[in-house]
């Protein structure tokens, strides 16, 4: 039983490392851009946009960056619960 939890923990760390290499660096750049230029300019560009468009742009970025990490970790938990060993 203890080995199962160690295996799941190691897989979770591996998922996080792979996610960091693919998405984490870009996410750090996005957050840095928000800090330097502000959320509206980062999400909408120099032309600007309406509030609903900005909210949808930010939501899309969050889903694209964080979605794969959350999805992989949920899959790992479900797999860990269902596996017999």
Structural domain range at position 41: 2-82
Q: What is the pLDDT of residues 10-24, one digit of tens each?
A: 889 999 898 888 888
Please list, in sequence order, all residues whose beta carbon lies within 8 angstroms of the beta carbon of residue 57, skipping any fewer than 6 positions away.
43, 44, 49
Q: What is the pLDDT of residues 27-82, one digit of tens each?
A: 888 889 889 988 888 888 777 788 888 888 888 888 888 888 899 989 988 888 88
Q: Which residues of 39-73 are buried (b: 16+ CB within 10 A; e: fewer)?
A: eeebbbeeeeeeeeebeebbeeeeeebeeebeebe
pTM for this entry: 0.67
The domain total for the chain is 1
């Amino acid at each position: 039983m203890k080995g199962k939890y160690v295996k799941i923990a190691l897989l979770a760390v591996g998922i996080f490392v792979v996610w960091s290499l693919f998405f984490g660096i870009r996410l750090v750049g996005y957050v840095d851009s928000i800090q330097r230029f502000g959320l509206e300019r980062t999400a909408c560009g120099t032309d600007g946009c309406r509030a609903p468009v900005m909210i949808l742009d930010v939501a899309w970025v969050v889903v694209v960056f964080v979605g794969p990490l959350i999805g992989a970790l949920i899959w790992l938990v479900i797999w860990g619960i269902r596996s017999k060993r």
